[in-house]
Structure 1
Amino acid sequence: MKKSKLLGIFCLSLSFFMAVTACNKSSGGASSGSGTTVELVYWSNWNNTESQGRVMRDAIKEFEQQNPGVKISIVNNGRENRKVVLPALEAGQQVDLMDQNIDFAIRTWKDYLLNMDDYYTRTFPSTGGKALGEALLPMYVDLTRSKDANGSLYGIPYQPNVWGVMYNKDHFAKAGITKAPETWAEFLDVCAKLKAAGFIPITTDDAYADIWFGFHLCRYKGSDWVDGLVNGRNSWNDPQVLQAAKDFEELAAKGYMPSTVSANIWPAGQQEIALGEVTMYLNGSWLPNEVMATAGPDFPWGMFAYPEVPGGADDKGATVVGSQIMCVNKNTKYPDEAMAFAAFISTGKYDQLLSAQTYGIPMDQSNQWPKQLEDAKGIFEGFTKRYPASTTIRNNADKNSLIKEEFVKLIGGKVSAARFIEAMK
């Protein structure tokens, strides 16, 4: 009888322990669990003077307050993270968390990254009762999966971005334009109305000019075909490639760009739009933040998807999308705590703060978008296909140098479309 009673108590205790363990696993909270201090090291892609860097410092402070057994040391490497993280991982140095843009991070650090498939099914204090994977923007969960051949998840995306044509809504209104263009013909009509109203329709600079041509070519031929073009598998004699060049020849001939556009050195183009000197500029959704000091918070930002072209391979739903991504070292001693912090900054309060303080898109579906990027929602809703970062026009560095050099001559009216094509052969 005594033995049976003891066995019953043991089984009851074991059941309780298993239930608590299961509960802790499903909730994804951070706790050292043993009374000892968990010390995490985070190598950050942000400088400590950047808005993102300041938000990260505040997030760490609050996370530590909420989780007394956890301490996080941040190393603000800034963009040098691209160079220094991999050697540190290879040397076995303690780097528990690290971030970079999604394409670079998973491609370069993949062998050292924690598989997060299970963690995406867990709830965290910042996910509002949802599983992590359900709290994030679905297209970015899909993008993260696409980086692995088996569809596994090796990071938590945050600070998403999307490319489109940024524009000044006040200029559109004064020119009598009531609808953003969806086709190249409509785009030309918009340019004509803007010029008639006294505005310079569109600009670019050396940092993004070739990407403008890349978008246009991808509309005609598709991203993979353009990769073949710059890498010698497809021909510059293709009629649609010549037509793409002629489209820009027409923009130059009609005076739809500044007379100095071929000499614009970044950030000249984005400053022209921020100062109200030009109406449109092809760029990423980070532009309002980059020019905030010039444009101010009340600048009337609009954004539309790059227009479709006649007989093109891709519709306006194809565009460049990207994000930063927070990764965890698979060799960390504290994967649960590291994951809890990664979720903490990509959902809930700190995702909202990142959005508000950087005028960026929130990753958490329940968070509010900044007014400067309201139009970007339409691009997300119409998204059909992803172009690689900067489009495939940059997939051959040697060829790209020539494309940049000759394309600025084309948009500056210094060479014809035919001469541009000849220079590319």
Structure 2
Amino acid sequence: MALAGVALCASACGGSSSGGAGAAGSGAGGDHLTIWSQWLKGQPGQQFLQAAVDDFQKQTGIKVTVQWKGNAVVKSLLPALNSPDVPTDVVETSASQIQNVLYPAGGMLDLTSAYQQQVPGTGQTVAQVVGPAATSLATPTDAAGQTTGGPVVVPYWASATGVVFYNGQNFPALESAAPKDWDAFFSILDAQKAKNRRPLAQDGSVTSYNAVFYNDFLASILGPDALNKAETDKTGQTWKQPGYLQAAQLVERLAKGGYFTDGYDASKFPAMENKWANNDADFNVNGSWLPSEVGPVAAPGFDYRSFAFPAVAGHSAPPLNVTVSGIGVLKSSKHQAAAEKFAAFLLQRGYQEQVATEMQNIPIAKDVPAPPAVQAVKQAIDAGQVNTVRSPASLADYNAKIYFGLDDKLIFGKLSAAQFIDSMSSDSADYWKSKG
């Protein structure tokens, strides 16, 4: 979703669908590295990675073959993960996919040693370039949130959700004076409503987008682990504790106060974000990929700007929900050293700059700026304002059957805040009782 179908390219892009043999160079002579990638041919990520592969081959003499699998990369690899003849050395995808699917199956290498490697031309190790917050996101945890080993991904880019986007042409003052809390933001939204605007675009058909509001309101009020605590309470009583209702009341205020664009509750993605990109709405709470996603349909001269989801007044801002993506190495690989070398290769400043300029996304390296549209988000990530609390994979069924459906009704104005809390409490208890 983050970058699919976006036609962005620069002079350094290019290459065939797989890397050919490079010129003999320093290093690993007969190595032949195979990579399965999350990108499809023609996507900015594919063009970036192919160019990096071509450079790597020329500089190291290591032959690299890439298969562009797209979003099916993990699903395609899983059946062969522990077979005697695994078809790849490296899987290039999001850390969450590796942690939730491939790592539990026992096929991924602990990359602690890779984090001690020097990144060429930087004088820093991989660990220093990646930073502690991103390293944490690249490290698997158990149901209690405890790490279960070292990192299993060397990330080279990041994305974030809960980002508030706007057109800088329409709100020039916000670039240097973004609202720090929702009291200030409501004042801006109310001023737009007074102009007969519906200021917030919301694609209601995407449940995960709908959930951002309650998730981040709750994280601001009670902390980023509050949702996990309530969802895993088999009695359902945690939902009744102070703070959970306050977060729901803020969603109710948005839903019943006329803040969302007309038809958001019956729209089909991406109708509402496209309306926003054509100035039919003022703000869109979305992911860092939004500018690339709407680029082909946006109004001419649209100036993408953003700020992080504001705090609930009187509380701290919620930490950013960040996903990191990069290089995972299979335990069965016979070319682990070459794979780790390639992972470090992508963290050089030149390639990190291309993550921003060619992929139009957020570089991992702390000293490399992101595109202007998400630079404020990058600054928050570099400052460590990142949510490292993750929802256990075991809660996926609960979210699908309980939370997302009730949250949709809350954000559509079909449930009051009090009704939402009562339903979450009782339905949670019934759900866990059915599980024994």
Smaller-chain TM-score range?
A: 0.7 to 0.9
TM-score (norm 2): 0.79
For 1:305-341, what per-residue CA distance to the aligned partner results, in whole angstroms no more than 9, with x for missing partners? 22222565xx215221111120122332222222222
Question: Which residue does the alignment assign to 1:75?
Answer: 67
Q: CA deviation at 1:406?
A: 4.0
For 1:146-196, what per-residue CA distance to the aligned partner results, in whole angstroms no more than 9, with x for missing partners? 65836623321121122322222333349x997322222112112112223
The 5-angstrom pairing of residues 97-108 of structure 1 reads 97-108=90-101
Task: Work out the CA distance in 1 between the residues paired with 2:89 and 2:176.
Answer: 51
Contact 1:347 1:363 in 2 (8 A): no
The 5-angstrom pairing of residues 99-138 of structure 1 reads 99-110=92-103, 111-125=106-120, 127-138=121-132
SS at match of 1:152: coil
Contact 2:37 2:68 in 1 (8 A): yes
Match of 2:89 among 83, 86, 96: 96
Change (3 A) 1:199 1:346: farther
Amino acid at match of 1:160: A
SS at match of 2:358: helix
Contact 2:119 2:347 in 1 (8 A): no
Question: Which residue does the alignment assign to 1:14?
Answer: none
Change (3 A) 1:409 1:86: closer
Task: Work out the CA distance in 1 between the residues paired with 2:158 and 2:408.
Answer: 29
Change (3 A) 1:186 1:44: same
Contact 1:177 1:190 in 2 (8 A): no
Change (3 A) 1:369 1:137: farther
For 1:319-377, what per-residue CA distance to the aligned partner results, in whole angstroms no more than 9, with x for missing partners? 21111120122332222222222222233333322321221111233433212222213
Match of 1:300 among 300, 303, 306: 303
Question: Which residue does the alignment assign to 1:11?
Answer: none
1:166 paired with 2:165, answer yes
Q: CA deviation at 1:402?
A: 4.6
**Rg larger in structure:** 1
For 1:388-414, what per-residue CA distance to the aligned partner results, in whole angstroms no more than 9, with x for missing partners? 56x689935345445444444433444
Task: Work out the CA distance in 1 between the residues paired with 2:413 and 2:318.
Answer: 30
1:372 paired with 2:367, answer no
Contact 1:30 1:337 in 2 (8 A): no
The 5-angstrom pairing of residues 155-304 of structure 1 reads 155-163=153-161, 164-173=163-172, 179-205=177-203, 206-207=205-206, 208-233=209-234, 234-235=236-237, 236-295=239-298, 298-304=301-307
Contact 2:217 2:318 in 1 (8 A): no
Task: Work out the CA distance in 2 between the residues paired with 1:56 and 1:101.
Answer: 15
Aligned length, in residue pairs:
388
Task: Work out the CA distance in 1 between the residues paired with 2:276 and 2:117.
Answer: 44
1:45 paired with 2:29, answer no
Amino acid at match of 2:220: R
Change (3 A) 1:333 1:396: closer
Q: What is the aligned-residue RMSD (CA, Å)?
A: 3.0
Write 1 or 2 for the structure with the bigger share of helix.
Answer: 1
Contact 2:216 2:318 in 1 (8 A): no
Amino acid at match of 2:199: P
Change (3 A) 1:358 1:116: same
Instruction: For structure 2, list consecutive stretches of 5 or more residues without a partner in the other structure.
Output: 1-24, 427-436
Task: Work out the CA distance in 1 between the residues paired with 2:117 and 2:405.
Answer: 50
Question: Which residue does the alignment assign to 2:345?
Answer: 344
Change (3 A) 1:129 1:388: same
Task: Work out the CA distance in 1 between the residues paired with 2:220 and 2:148.
Answer: 29
Task: Work out the CA distance in 2 between the residues paired with 1:82 and 1:329.
Answer: 12
Instruction: For structure 1, list consecutive stretches of 5 or more residues without a partner in the other structure.
Output: 1-28
Task: Work out the CA distance in 2 between the residues paired with 1:393 and 1:212.
Answer: 21
Amino acid at match of 2:65: S
1:410 paired with 2:377, answer no
Amino acid at match of 1:121: Q
Task: Work out the CA distance in 1 between the residues paired with 2:406 and 2:112.
Answer: 46
**Higher mean C-alpha displacement, 277-286 vs 244-253:** 244-253
Change (3 A) 1:336 1:280: same
**Higher mean C-alpha displacement, 47-56 vs 213-222:** 213-222
Task: Work out the CA distance in 2 between the residues paired with 1:100 and 1:112.
Answer: 15
**Higher mean C-alpha displacement, 49-58 vs 196-205:** 196-205
Amino acid at match of 2:135: V
SS at match of 1:302: strand
Q: CA deviation at 1:276?
A: 1.6
Task: Work out the CA distance in 1 between the residues paired with 2:216 and 2:412.
Answer: 18
1:356 paired with 2:357, answer yes
